[in-house]
């Protein structure tokens, strides 16, 4: 404990001995840091942000709708749309024709554009730029490009489904035409219009004719036709009804695809809209000044200790 006190006293003594120097270095480093962190040397940056929730996005596999939204926001399409619209290569003063120029542009974009999922299952979009209005517009463009991309994918998928349904409809329609020809032939040639009803009515007519002891050629012909072709008619009609029901279901789905294609969905709920900031987010001058003052004083303190140590060694030798 005594050794610790002596050590602490030693450092306090050094600080007291060199207090003028520490005061000067504090003032100089503070002024220098304040000067070099000013807008004359560092262009201030402003932050704009938005928080969005997914909407009209169905979860796929084990991914949640928010994770899908995050992937789309971080996609090359959204990034390239923003870079193209705002000509960021020129804005960031990057020559993309130079070697690794494209890589430098993408790295700069990623350093100024932050897209991340938060704890509330929504996504935060943040953009910093020297122009507060441009930062706000970039956030809006990111959201717009996201909706445009998902809408395009949605329409492409719906169009694919529509084309498949159109082929199914054509197949069912051809089947109906073929079955209807068979039924039409049975109706015309054999006068079979409704198998179940005609069987009942022909049976009733036959029983009445037997009861009165007078036959009927028409009833006999119909019964013979029902006996010979009734099974075929019934089977064909059953198949026809099944195909017609399937055709109706496919047609309903086909009509729904047109409704989907004509809808203008949005795929985000914007909880907080981006606005131009009137307060810079970078550089934080007080923090730069504080770090500079602490670093300068620590450096000076290290030099003082080293010089004092060397001096004591020389004194001991003498």
Burial class (CB in 10 A: 0-12, 13-18, 19+), 141: buried
Map residue 193 onto helix, strand or coil.
coil
The Cα 91–Cα 113 span in angstroms is: 14
* pLDDT of residue 107 exceeding 90: yes
Q: What pTM did the predictor assign?
A: 0.65
What are the C-alpha distances in Å from 162 to residues 56, 57, 158, 172, 258? Answer: 20, 20, 6, 15, 8
Reported as a pLDDT band with limits 50, 70 and 90, residue 50 is: very high
Is 241 within a domain? yes
> How many structural domains are present in the chain?
1
Is 187 within a domain? yes
The Cα 189–Cα 221 span in angstroms is: 12
Straight-line distance from the first to the last Cα atom of the chain, in angstroms, rounded to the nearest whole number: 31
Give the whole-number percent of the chain exceeding pLDDT 70.
76
Summary mean pLDDT of the chain: 79
Contact of 81 with 150, CB cutoff 8 Å: no
The Cα 141–Cα 149 span in angstroms is: 12
Instruction: List phi, psi (to 5°) of 118.
Output: -105, 180
Is 42 within a domain? no
Is 139 within a domain? no
Reported as a pLDDT band with limits 50, 70 and 90, residue 248 is: very high
User: For residue 56, what are the contacts with CB-CB under 8 A and spacing of at least 6?
Assistant: 265, 266, 267
The Cα 82–Cα 297 span in angstroms is: 45
* pLDDT of residue 230 exceeding 80: no
Q: Which domain holds residue 207?
A: 162-262
Count other C-beta atoms under 10 Å from residue 18's C-beta: 18
For helices 217-262 and 132-190, what crossing angle results, to 10°? Answer: 170
Query: Residue 136: which of 278, 277, 295 has the closest Cα?
Result: 277
pLDDT at 86: 93
* pLDDT of residue 171 exceeding 50: yes
């Amino acid at each position: 404990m005594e050794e610790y006190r002596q050590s602490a006293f030693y450092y306090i003594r050094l600080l007291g001995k060199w207090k003028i120097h520490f005061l000067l270095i504090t003032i100089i480093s503070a002024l220098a840091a304040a000067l070099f962190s000013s807008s004359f040397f560092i262009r201030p940056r402003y932050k704009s942000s938005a928080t969005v929730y997914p909407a009209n996005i169905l979860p796929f596999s084990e991914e949640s709708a928010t994770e899908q939204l995050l992937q789309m926001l971080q996609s090359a399409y959204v990034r390239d749309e923003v870079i193209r619209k705002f000509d960021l290569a020129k804005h960031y003063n990057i020559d993309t024709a130079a070697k690794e120029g494209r890589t430098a542009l993408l790295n700069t974009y990623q350093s100024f554009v932050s897209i991340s999922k938060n704890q509330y299952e929504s996504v935060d979009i943040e953009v910093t730029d020297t122009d507060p209005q441009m930062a706000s517009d970039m956030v809006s463009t990111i959201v717009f490009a996201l909706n445009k991309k998902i809408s395009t994918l949605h329409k492409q998928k719906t169009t694919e489904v529509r084309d498949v349904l159109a082929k199914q409809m054509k197949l069912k329609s051809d089947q109906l035409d073929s079955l209807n020809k068979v039924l039409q032939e049975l109706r015309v040639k054999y006068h079979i219009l409704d198998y179940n009803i005609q069987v009942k009515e022909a049976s009733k007519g036959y029983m009445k004719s037997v009861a009165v002891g007078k036959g009927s050629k028409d009833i006999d012909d119909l019964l013979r036709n029902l006996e010979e072709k009734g099974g075929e008619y019934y089977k064909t009609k059953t198949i026809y009804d099944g195909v017609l029901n399937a055709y109706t279901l496919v047609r309903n789905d086909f009509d729904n695809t047109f409704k989907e294609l004509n809808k203008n969905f949005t795929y985000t709920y914007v909880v907080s809209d981006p606005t131009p900031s009137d307060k810079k987010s970078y550089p934080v001058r007080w923090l730069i000044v504080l770090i500079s003052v602490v670093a300068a004083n620590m450096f000076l303190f290290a030099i003082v200790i080293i010089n004092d140590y060397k001096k004591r060694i020389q004194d001991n030798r003498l």
